[in-house]
Structure 1
Amino acid sequence: MEFRQLQLFVAVAEELHFGRAAARIGMAQPPFSQQIRRLESELGVELLTRTSRRVALTAAGSRLLEDARALLARRADVIHSVQQAASGETGTLRVGFAASSAFGVLPDIVLRFRTRFPKVKLELDDSETLDVGAALVSGELDIAIIRAPFRHEGLTVERLLQERFVLALPARHPRARQQVVALSSLANEPFVLFPRHSAPGLHDLVTSMCLGAGFSPNILQEASSWPSVVGMVEAGLGLTIAPASSQALCPKGVVFRPLSGAPGHAELVVAFPGTRPAPAAQHFRVLAHEAVSRSGRRASD
């Protein structure tokens, strides 16, 4: 018994007329009738009673009509489900991100993705111990948004956003009254930073900028999450240098000031295995670029 035979049977069972049923399917009547006879032979039952005046369903035919409709509907559902999975509209998308990438950017991307692809389950991983590059290569992650510099064999890395650095300091700090703070003037200030292993690119960039300004940063405190970092800054335990987008997530007791003498830029990149991401990851990638573009923070070349 084939799905095609069931389609033909449903047509004749609903029309109760071989000629109309054949025309509905787009077949000549003789081969149409042959297919129905073949189905009856395969099942070993009579599905239709035929006279010169009428066609009627037998008890077996009525039972098959109900089941055939259910099978054909289920078949259509399966085909649709498979097609949705192939196009990235269902399934699970595993996204890795560094703590610093959550600054104002990731929430917008996630919101856009959930709105457009509500049937895709998003799994976000910002684990400090996660090796993002290895996780992408092994398939543990499908795509990641992380801070540059980031390079890994077997991955494609695209710049998503480039932004300036700013200084975050307690609102009561004397330098909070300055409109612009010179990086070189911070040589004797205590700093709060991410541990290097949690954001190596960002950590090295901040450190190299300080060295370029003539001093090595005096890192007195480390915190793995941005809320913890700014919490320590607000408590007066130190200052921190962060991407400008970090201002979107800031307590009232912390202020931000532009830095002079800080030539570096914070870059956010999107990384995925191979040369083209899987369908759901591709949707996420496109929406990530779209979110950055529409926010007016285009990645600069």
Structure 2
Amino acid sequence: MDIRDMKVFSAIAEEGNISNAAKRLNIAQPALSRQMKQLEEELGVQLFERGSRRIRLTEAGQLFRERAAQILALADATANEMSDFHSGLGGVISLGAVTTSGVALLPNLISRFYQLYPNVTFQLWEGDGFRVLELLNTGIIEVGIIRAPFDSELYESILLPPEPLAVAMKKNACYCGKREDSVKLSELAEQPLIIPLRWKEMFLDWCAKAGFTPKIICVSDSITLNILWTKQGLGMALVPKSTEDLFSDPSLRYKIIAEPSLATQTAIVWLRNRRLSASSRHFLDLLQKDIFQ
């Protein structure tokens, strides 16, 4: 098994059809079929369920597709690092980001960086904080954009200013708090709540100090899904205040949590003792200038 096998397999998985993949790769269809058969024999598993028109991945095939994507991304990143070892004037910067932080931070930053380094391109992976750290740990990405907390012994970081936490609620369905724009933590005591997984323990601790046990109906690290569930009236979602800019909706109201005031921080992280590419170092330098100027 080699990189070429993985590229061929990935093309077939994307096309869902041997014939289309053969045209895309400019390889004869019988040769392509033999190559995949040999790969299955070498791995000792069946990767495809072959049908009359389309092929489907088996469970083993789905796992191999995920691993192949990671390995191919790592191979590309390594090649780019070698070709751009010193200058940082070209190559690819591989980033991972959680939805809210990535959308709020990256568009303007990448636009400005691209003006300075037009030959640098970006590869962006999106997921929850745990997924981003996994990609960072395996070397698929160089820089991650996540929400605190994280292990500061494993990662170096740049912390953005604190951002208030808020509760997203559907108007006239799941409404609480006497004030228009804020809510006391204690006012959430009997409300159905949707909590991000990485904040669960902290939130439970905050509520315990306020003298109550929260009614958590769902724990999820997908801000998008949490807001969609809120729109359905299933509960209230604990979110960063900037979520209101990303998911503005007339049916929703966002109230910051006050008394006590709760906050979160966006963190730009990278592995300690790992050499960053010159392009990534330039990217972090620009980010620091934006934050501290």
- Residues 1:225 and 2:222 are matched in the alignment: yes
Q: Which residue identity lines up with residue 184 of structure 1 in the other structure?
A: S
Instruction: Compute the displacement of 1:263 (Å).
Output: 3.8
Q: Against the structure 1 CA distance between its residues 211 and 126, is the aligned structure 2 distance closer, same or farther, given a 3 Å change threshold?
A: farther
Does the 8 Å CA contact 2:100/2:242 hold for their aligned counterparts? no
CA contact (8 A) 1:137 1:155 kept: no
Partner of residue 88, structure 1: 88
Cα deviation digits, residues 98-127 of structure 1 (max 9, x gap): 234235223333333344333222111123
- Counterpart of 2:213? 216
Measured after TM superposition, the shift of residue 161 of structure 1 is 2.9
What SS does the corresponding residue of 2:149 show, helix, strand or coil?
coil
Shift of 1:166: 1.7
Q: CA deviation at 1:146?
A: 0.9
Unaligned runs of 5+ in 2: 1-81
1:169 aligns with 2:169: yes
Secondary structure of the corresponding residue to residue 193 of structure 2: strand
Partner of 1:185: 187
Do 1:133 and 1:152's aligned partners in 2 also have CA atoms closer than 8 Å?
no
Secondary structure of the equivalent of 1:92? Answer: strand
For 1:230, the aligned partner's letter is: I
Displacement after TM superposition at 1:128 (Å): 4.4
Superimposed CA distance per residue, residues 234-253 of structure 1 (whole angstroms, 9 cap, x where no aligned partner): 22111122222222112222
* CA apart distance, 1:183: 0.9
8 Å contact 2:176–2:188 — kept in the other structure?
no
Deviation at 1:187, TM superposition (A): 0.9
Structure number with greater Rg is 1
State the match for 1:282 in structure 2: 281
- TM-score, scaled to structure 2: 0.61
User: SS of the counterpart of 2:161?
Assistant: strand
The aligned counterpart of 1:108 is: 108
Q: Pick from 239, 246, 255: which aligns with 1:249? A: 246
Q: Secondary structure at the match of 2:141?
A: coil
- Corresponding residue SS for 1:156: strand
Change (3 A) 1:244 1:291: farther
Aligned to 2:232: 235
Q: Is the CA contact (8 Å cut-off) linking 2:83 and 2:91 kept in structure 1?
A: no
Offset from partner CA, 1:176-215 (integer Å, 9 cap, x none): 7622311101111001233x2xxx2x34333332332222
Aligned residue runs from structure 1 range 66-81, under 5 A? none
Aligned residue type for 1:193: I
Structure 1: which 5+ runs fail to align? 1-81, 295-301
Q: Distance in 2 between matches of 1:238 and 1:274?
A: 39
Query: How many equivalent pairs are there?
Result: 209
CA RMSD of aligned residues (A): 3.0
> What residue in structure 1 maps to residue 8 of structure 2?
none
Q: Contact conserved, 2:189 with 2:212, CA < 8 A, in 1?
A: yes
- SS of the residue aligned with 2:166? strand
How far does residue 132 in structure 1 lie from its aligned partner after superposition?
Answer: 3.9
Q: Deviations over 1:126-182 (max 9, x none)?
A: 234965445434422111111111115453123123112122111334437622311
Deviates more, 1:231-240 or 1:92-101: 92-101
SS at match of 2:202: helix
Which amino acid counterpart does residue 217 of structure 2 have in structure 1?
L
Contact 2:192 2:215 in 1 (8 A): yes
